[in-house]
Structure 1
Amino acid sequence: MKYSLGMCVVICLAILDLGSGLRCFKCTDYTGHCESVQQCTNEDACLSLSEKEGKTIRRCIRYTDCDNSRLAQMFPSLSVFTYRCCSSNLCNRSTAIATKEPALALIGSLLIFWWSSL
């Protein structure tokens, strides 16, 4: 039983990726698909900024810069944009991919629970 509990803790920590700093996706693209990851500082948030033509910029940004007027100064070539700043790991991904990780963690937890009860 102790072995099962220990394995459960190790696997859960691996799934949840605890103990590391904030990580954000970093790319500029039109597809919404981004695989490059950037390590951020303690004062950062993840930014996802989209212009009306469909280009999306994803990267770390100082949390204090997550403001419409400040972003307009930082990206003067973009006249119309929407943005979102968030503060959890890889939270600036496209919404189509965002729902997969919690489902994977839930399935993994259920499998571990089932395996430890055998």
Structure 2
Amino acid sequence: MKVFMGVGVVFGLTLLGLGSAIKCYKCKDYTGSCSKTQDCRFEDACLSLYERGGSTYRQCIKYSDCDQSMLAQMFPHVSSFRYSCCMSDLCNSAPVNMAKSSVLGLLASLAVFWWCVL
């Protein structure tokens, strides 16, 4: 009987994680850096909205509102933008700077090469 109870508790705790909402970054900035987060509702996605020549908006948004026409209504002060929506924790972070990652990759390759030669 204890085994069935233990399996039931583990199964129940596993199911609790399946229906959990995600976390998204929440900010309006010009630099692409953002550290403030918010807990979203169950039906939300993470939005990154990039204003042409301006700021970036990051926040939770209802997944069904992640559409060009809906976003234009929600952000009437932004005349031209591109956007992306995603459905995992903190997926609306700033994109990685390719120049920095290339330099780090080059340095790591040189370190491995140097280590193998010695």
TM-score (norm 1): 0.64
Provide the rounded CA distance (Å) in 2 between the counterparts of 1:28 and 1:90.
Answer: 15
Which position in structure 2 is the counterpart of 1:69?
Answer: 69
Aligned-partner residue type, residue 23 of structure 2: R
Which position in structure 2 is the counterpart of 1:89?
Answer: 89
Per the alignment, in what secondary structure is the counterpart of residue 73 of structure 1? helix
| 8 Å contact from structure 2 (residues 21, 43) kept in 1 | no
Aligned-partner residue type, residue 29 of structure 1: D
- Measured on the aligned residues, the alpha-carbon RMSD in Å equals 1.6
Aligned-partner residue type, residue 68 of structure 2: N
Per the alignment, in what secondary structure is the counterpart of residue 96 of structure 2? helix
Higher relative contact order, structure no. (Cα contacts within 8 Å, ≥ 6 residues apart): 1
Aligned-partner residue type, residue 83 of structure 1: Y
Which runs of no fewer than 5 residues in structure 1 stay unpaired?
1-18, 101-118
Query: Shift in Å at residue 92 of structure 1?
Result: 0.2
Which runs of no fewer than 5 residues in structure 2 stay unpaired?
1-16, 102-118
Which position in structure 2 is the counterpart of 1:30?
Answer: 30
TM-score (norm 2): 0.64
Identical counterparts, % of pairs: 56
Aligned-partner residue type, residue 65 of structure 1: D
How many residue pairs get aligned? The number is 80
Moved over 3 A (4+): none
Provide the rounded CA distance (Å) in 1 between the counterparts of 2:40 and 2:51.
Answer: 23
Provide the rounded CA distance (Å) in 1 between the counterparts of 2:62 and 2:83.
Answer: 14
Per the alignment, in what secondary structure is the counterpart of residue 33 of structure 2? coil
Q: How does 1:1-118 map to 2 (within 5 A)?
A: 19=17, 21-96=21-96
| 8 Å contact from structure 2 (residues 25, 58) kept in 1 | yes
Larger-gyration structure (1/2): 2
